[in-house]
Amino acid sequence: MFTSLSDRLTGTFANLRGKGRLSESDVNKTIRDIRMALIDADVALPVVKEFTSAVRERATGAEVSGALNPAQQVIKIVNEELVGILGGNTRELTLAKRPPTVIMLAGLQGSGKTTFAGKLGARLKEQGHTPILVAADLQRPNAVTQLEVVAERAGVSVFAPERGNIGGHDAGAAGEGTRSFGDPVSVAREGIAHAQSRQHDVVIVDTAGRLAVDADLMQQAADIRTAISPDEVLFVIDAMIGQAAVETAQAFQQGVGFTGVVLSKLDGDARGGAALSVARTTGRPIMFASTGEGVRDLEVFHPDRMASRILD
Ligand code: GDP
């Protein structure tokens, strides 16, 4: 991730080293190089434009300061602008003053929601919380079972609707409660009531995704949101989908609305454009980065550290 972008930018800055002051053509060439590097990394065009014009404005006006040579100054500016594009400050989860905190997950099918539910559950448990996962993805027959498996791996409880005619019993070792396999809104509501009765302080509600943005799916997720008024709605997006990330994120932002973004599959060879575009184009912070299939492959997203990683 970001290797190519990082190499390109480092190369650009190397060309500036040793220069006593930056001519207009130095600045122009640098901006052009940055622009191409961002476009090749799949960053959305409006974000590229905003970024390069901010860098241009600041680099052109920058005085040669005593402490920093021109190259260092440009790197500093690019770094600061990158941090800004990535959302500025690290944003922590908002926990409800009166538990349980309800966290709803939304996103396309295959984006990594279920996997993330387990990771977040494990992380919260490690921090001393008592999370429970709620299986409100009733679209795919396997989704409920998958969440149960994920919960078991993460060592957290799960609330799952009852399947087929299995009839009224517990979902298994990891399962705590079951209800009839009905509509996802009822399951989400029942899951929260169940969590309250068992003193779970965080409820993570997994919802259904489809392979592409779809009106029914949006409506279902929006209905769940209205019914359960979550403290956080986290939109999970696969970093590998590149340019499509922005459009998908905007569709979910309009259709459901979310409070934060989870970038998944950052361990893959995605070029990084999604990460650099989604926060800015939706106005919502990236809160977590999912970096593998294991329960522990989760990082809190720090814009400043990510920017440093890119510019290292
Ligand atoms: P959902 O349909 O949104 O619930 O997506 P899943 O959680 O089922 O994930 C879809 C696939 O992506 C599964 O095979 C996961 O193992 C895989 N996956 C999820 N998150 C990551 C990640 O961060 N890195 C990698 N490499 N694979 C992931």
As a whole number, mean pLDDT of residues 170-193 equals 69
ipTM of the complex in this document: 0.99
Binding residues for GTP: 107-114, 206-210, 264-267
Question: Which residue type occupies 68?
Answer: L
Question: 264-286: per-residue pLDDT in tens?
Answer: 998 887 777 887 899 999 999 99
Report whether the peptide linkage leading into residue 100 is cis, meaning its omega lies within 30 degrees of zero.
yes
The tens digit of pLDDT for each residue in 102-118 reads: 999 999 999 999 999 99
**Residue 302: CB atoms within 10 Å:** 18
Q: Residue 125: is its pLDDT beyond 90?
A: yes
Quote the pLDDT of residue 92. Answer: 92
Helix/strand/coil for 261: strand
Question: Model confidence at 174, in pLDDT bands (50, 70, 90)?
Answer: very low
pLDDT at residue 50 greater than cutoff 50: yes
Q: Which atom of ligand 1 is nearest to the CA of 111?
A: 3
Q: Give CA–CA dist 3/172, Å, rounded.
A: 44
Residue nearest to atom 28 of ligand 1 (CA): 293
186 has pLDDT over 90? yes
The whole model's pTM is what? 0.90
